[in-house]
Structure 1
Amino acid sequence: MKQIKQYVHKKILVLGLAKSGVSAASLLHKLGAFVTVNDYKPLSENPEAQGLLEQGIKVICGDHPIELLDEGFELIVKNPGIPYRNPMISGAIERGIPVITEVELAYQISEAPFIGITGTNGKTTTTTLVFEMLEAGKKSPLIAGNIGTVASGVAQKATDNQTIVIELSSFQLMGIDTFKPKISILTNIYDAHLDYHGTREEYEQAKANIARNQTKEDYFIYNADQEKTAAIALETKASLVPFSIEKQLANGAYVKDGFIYFKGEEIMAVEDIALPGSHNLENILAAVAAAKLSSVDNKAIRQVLTIFTGVKHRLQFVESINGRSFFNDSKATNILAASKALSAFEAPVILLAGGLDRGNGFAEIVPYLTNVKALITFGETSGKLQEAGRAAGIKIIEGVDNVEKAVPVAYGLSAPGDVILLSPACASWDQYKTFEVRGDIFINAVHKLK
């Protein structure tokens, strides 16, 4: 860990706790800052805040008093989930107080270089693949961000002969200043999180921030099949490394005659890859590019791709019961992600879908329901999804109370050879705290069938 001096005796406000806030507050305290933590949860219900109080850090809990901003803070480190329209954040910006996220702190103290991965879909799978490939290639990687340990916690332990592989959200990337990964990946960009960002333009710019500070000594890996990501590539000074499943690329990763190539070098046959889905092939190409740029040999890359079957909750194979294959894709919190999951299967699918109603319809998913023999819906969007199912001509449509009840109903409607797929196309928050909780409930319900 770099012993930086820039925060010594600086007044810093950490806004919002959770894991990133706790890590940021503790780190800044170690670096000699005068830290104040402000969290909305009352102190009596807030063990994280209590722990920081025991370290000698000033803690204010129960609300976000706007008058705090008049106490002379020189920096605010905010929880990524707090939107910029929050009065505390907008008030800080009006006062000229810089606002960053914890990822920026991690970069400032890290002795290890970063491989940063972002995009609307595929971040977690790509991040995991890159980490596994570097691990197989004995490159001593560490994993951080949304998928693993908080970045500033990992960075404190990282050495200069390691690499931090980090999944980055648009929320995190809006709060960077000097953050500069050695290798960055942009998987794709679609409409998402507009309730947070307000406009598509702001969302796209947040994603583009991953390459904002890169130079020609760094690498930007991007989806050459998508107009928007290709346009963002033109804005960075990094060395460009495209990937494509549609065309051959002399300077990137691509598919030709059933084989994966990187810069003209054959890596492996597509048919030997364990992970299903054309969308995952895009993730694989991005990961292969990052691995090759990190001097991982082809044997290590093949070793990973022949056994890696998916990340938990991301088109995760769960179990085969009496010829029925169960897949958990609880991470599919939007229509696009669910559509890609459906496209991964040729077998008849029984789809379990539903969740938080964000006001959108589901007409866009209708073309992807052609191989769905039965639709089981739940949650706030149950009726809307049933309407989409009828538009697709699905003969069997049933509504149930929740995911747990959906599993035995789906099994009862299935036959050997069918795929039973949880791919909700919606966020989980109407019924479950997180998509992980929703996915775990699905997994447990599947195991109960045995």
Structure 2
Amino acid sequence: MKNIKTYQHKKILVLGLAKSGVSAAALLHKLGAFVTVNDSKPLDENPEAQGLLEQGIKVVCGSHPIELMDEGFELVVKNPGIPYYNPMIQKAIEKEIPIITEVELAYQISEAPLVGITGTNGKTTTTTLIFEMLEAGDKHPLIAGNIGTVASGVAQDATTDNTIVIELSSFQLMGIDQFKPRIAIITNLYDAHLDYHGTRKEYIGAKALITKNQTEEDFLIVNADQEEVMEIARNSRAQIVPFSTKKVLESGAYVMDGWVCFNGEKIIETKDIVLPGKHNLENILSAVAATLLSGADKDAIHKVLTTFAGVRHRLQYVDTIDGRKFYNDSKATNILATENALAAFEAPIVLLAGGLDRGNSFDELVPALKNVKTLITFGETAEKVGQAGRDAGIKTILRADNVEKAVPVAFEHSEPGDVILLSPACASWDQYKTFEVRGDMFIEAVHKLK
């Protein structure tokens, strides 16, 4: 890593722990900063804070005392999930203390170039595809960000021989200063996280920050089928690389005559691609563009796309039992993601859906349910999702206590050739700690059928 002197002897507050805060605090301590960590969880219940304390880092736990902001901090490193209306953050803004997120630190110390992926849907799949393709092409990639590995930890071990492929949320991007990916991707933009951002305009503005520091030497890969994404591109200094699933482009990535193409060159026939779903073509096109721009070849792309069946919990194939194919799409925590999942299959579908009630109706889901023969609902939104099913004319609508109990019910009301799909259209927090836990429970229940 670059042994930067930027933070030497500076007084810095790391606000909120979790994995990103722990990594940021330890890194800043290593770089010679005077670090204070503040986390709401009490010290005796906070092994992460205890570990930092053992390293000689000052720890304030159990609450967020506003008077802490009077201690002369020169920088705040904020957990991405902490909103800007938080009193501690408001106090920092009032005192004109710079506020960053941990990905900014990762960029500043990284010897490796970055490929940054953001957007509303498809980030994880696109990030994973690029990583797998670069690995198949012997390009020594490292994977980081929202996908599970803290970027500042990965960056410490990266060299000039590596490429860091990093999934980025709008929350993380709001806290950047110098951060600049050599290749940036905006997959698509839809309404999301408006409880955090307040308005769609603010949300899109946060996503646009991925390209704010890019120059003419960098690349911005964008969805040419969305005007809001193209508007961001028009304001970027980077070289624009468009992709489209709907039209043939003069340059960039697109589909023509059954082939995925890039800059006029045929890369792979779509019939050879294992990953299901029309929406995944967007992810594939952007990943192909990023991979080729990073120096990998067509063989690496072909190897991955003929074997890659999806990331865990995102339209993940689980098993086939008595002619029924089971798919785990637990990461579908909004209606759009479930619409995309339903569009991926032509076979009759038995859909498992429901979860946390955020107050919205499911009217928008109704047109996408045309291929659903049986609907099994669960969680707080069971009745609302069931109403959408009735509006769609689904004849068999059943209710289960949870995902585990929904699986055998789904099997009982299915036939050979059917797809049994968990795609909840809701967050998991009413019944499960994370969507990963929910998906794991689905997988376990499927295996129990055997």
- Bin the TM-score by the shorter chain: over 0.9
Identify the residue that residue 200 of structure 2 maps to in structure 1: 200
Partner of 1:274: 274
Name the aligned partner's letter for residue 437 of structure 1: V
Partner of 1:163: 163
**Which amino acid is the alignment partner of residue 305 of structure 1?**
L
Distance in 1 between residues matched to 2:177 and 2:402, nearest whole Å: 43
Mapping 1:63-82, distance limit 5 Å: 63-82=63-82
Secondary structure of residue in 1 paired with 2:116 = strand
| Distance of 2:142 and 2:148 partners within structure 1 | 9
Match of 1:366 in 2: 366
Q: What is the SS of the residue equivalent to 2:147?
A: coil
Q: Which secondary structure does the structure 1 equivalent of 2:64 belong to?
A: coil
Deviation at 1:90, TM superposition (A): 1.4
Matched residue type, 2:127: T
Q: How does 1:166-205 map to 2 (within 5 A)?
A: 166-205=166-205
What is the CA–CA distance in structure 1 between the aligned matches of 2:428 and 2:196, rounded to whole Å? 17
Say what the alpha-carbon RMSD is for the aligned residues: 0.6
Partner of 1:212: 212
* Count of matched residue positions in the alignment of Structure 1 and Structure 2: 450
Match of 1:77, SS? strand
Q: Which residue of 2 aligns with 1:401?
A: 401
Q: Secondary structure at the match of 1:26?
A: helix
Alpha-carbon distance, 1:148 to partner? 3.3
Q: CA deviation at 1:356?
A: 0.8
Are 1:17 and 2:17 an aligned pair?
Answer: yes
Please give the residue correspondences for 1:100-249 in structure 2 after superposition, counting only pairs within 5 Å: 100-249=100-249
Match of 1:264 in 2: 264
**Cα-to-partner distance string for 1:320-361 (whole Å, 9 max, x where unaligned):** 000000000000000000000000001000000011111111
Higher alpha-carbon deviation: 118-127 or 194-203? 194-203
C-alpha separation between the residues in 2 aligned to 1:90 and 1:432?
32
* Corresponding residue SS for 1:388: helix
Instruction: Verify: 1:31 aligned to 2:31, yes or no.
Output: yes
Distance in 1, matches of 2:94 and 2:348, equals 56
Runs of 4+ in structure 1 over 6 Å off: none
SS of the residue aligned with 1:357?
A: coil
The residue aligned with 2:388 is 388
The one-letter code matched in structure 1 to 2:241 is: V
Q: Deviations over 1:52-76 (max 9, x none)?
A: 0000000000010111111000000
Structure 2 segments unaligned to the other structure (5+ residues) = none
Cα deviation digits, residues 139-162 of structure 1 (max 9, x gap): 010000011310000000000111
Letter of the 2:66 counterpart = I
CA distance in structure 2 between the aligned counterparts of 1:378 and 1:61, rounded to whole angstroms: 37
Q: 2:184 is paired with a residue of what secondary structure?
A: strand
Query: How far apart are the structure 1 equivalents of 2:409 and 2:187?
Result: 36
TM-score (norm 2): 0.99
SS of corresponding position for 1:242: strand
Cα deviation for residue 198 of structure 1 reads: 1.0
Distance 2:134 2:41 in 1: 39
**d(CA) in 2 for partners of 1:231, 1:398:** 44
1:239 CA displacement: 0.1
Give the superposition deviation at 1:271. 0.3
CA shift digits 1:181-220 (9 cap, x unpaired): 0000000000000111111111101111111110010000
Determine the C-alpha separation between the residues in 1 that align with 2:44 and 2:88: 23
1:4 is the counterpart of 2:18 = no
Distance 1:7 1:50 in 2: 23
Q: Report the Cα offset of residue 95 of structure 1.
A: 1.1
Aligned partner of residue 36 in structure 1, secondary structure: strand
Could you say which residue in structure 2 is the equivalent of 1:84?
84
1:44 correspondence with 2:48: no
State how far apart, in whole Å, the 1-side matches of 2:250 and 2:140 are: 29
Query: Equivalent residue for 1:334?
Result: 334
Where does 1:406-417 land on structure 2 (aligned, <5 Å)?
Answer: 406-417=406-417
| Amino-acid identity (%) | 75
CA–CA separation in structure 1 for the residues paired with 2:93 and 2:235: 26
Counterpart residue number, 2:286 = 286
Instruction: Provide the C-alpha distance between the structure 1 equivalents of 2:235 and 2:387, rounded to a whole number of angstroms.
Output: 42
In structure 1, C-alpha distance between the alignment counterparts of 2:198 and 2:148, rounded to whole Å? 28
> Following TM superposition, by how much is the alpha carbon of 1:41 offset from its aligned partner in structure 2, in angstroms?
0.5
SS at match of 1:370: helix
Opposite residue 442 of structure 1, the aligned amino acid is F
Unaligned runs of 5+ in 1: none
SS where residue 320 of structure 1 aligns? strand
Could you tell me which residue of structure 1 aligns to residue 443 of structure 2? 443
Show the counterpart of 1:324: 324
> How many angstroms does 1:312 deviate by?
0.2
2:105 aligns to what SS in structure 1? helix
C-alpha separation between the residues in 1 aligned to 2:157 and 2:191?
A: 36
Cα drift, residue 94 of structure 1: 1.3
**Per-residue deviation, 1:91:** 1.4
